[in-house]
Amino acid sequence: MVLAVVAVTNIPLTQFITKTPRLLAARTKAGPRAEKRPSQKLIMGLIGLSSVATYIVAGLDHQFHWSNVPPWLAITGDLLVALGMGMVYWVFKENVFASATVEIATDQKVITTGPYAIVRHLMYASVTVYVIGMPLALASYWGLLASILTVLGLVWRVFDEEGMLASGLPGYREYCASVRWRLVPGAF
């Protein structure tokens, strides 16, 4: 089921990215090697490893029957995966500066509309929903533990990125003062 959810949700996302040249250019260079700052290279390397570990652990969990995830929770995981992908689509519609690397584009401005009026890092919030949903959709509690490492990596990335944006993107400090929440409204 999860493969169908990922496939179906990726279709509109891929179509939108390919029709938005700025976004396409910003999303095609990704991963630790694409990052310019050493801290982000490290963070992205760790996020990549923990993401891969989630799938490996979930596969081992399935093979050796470590978890007994009820069907309703696996379906909830599918829904979280779809929600996370929908949120990513919303990010791209609202923010064509949504680069896969931590950088400031020449003509970049602070986006304060739509979901960015509620949380400052909607992309990372979207990925968090996705990475929590994925191991549940794969019926793996142990995979969920591995995905928590990915979430912790995203939180580290948020803090590191905010320091760079505050020092280099005009208006970002004011934006942080007006939008309190980084990822989860009312919590963080």
Residue whose token pair is 């050796």: 64
Distances in Å between the Cα of 44 and the Cα atoms of 67, 79, 125, 154, 185 are 29, 26, 16, 9, 25
Report residue 62's pLDDT band, with 50, 70 and 90 as the boundaries.
very high
Q: How far apart are CA 182 and CA 25, in angstroms?
A: 25
* pLDDT tens readout for residues 107-156: 889 999 999 999 999 999 999 999 999 999 999 999 999 999 999 999 99
* pLDDT tens readout for residues 4-50: 999 999 999 899 999 988 888 888 888 899 999 999 999 999 999 99
Q: How far apart are CA 96 and CA 20, in angstroms?
A: 8
Distances in Å between the Cα of 102 and the Cα atoms of 15, 32, 170 are 24, 11, 16
For the whole model, what pTM was predicted?
0.92
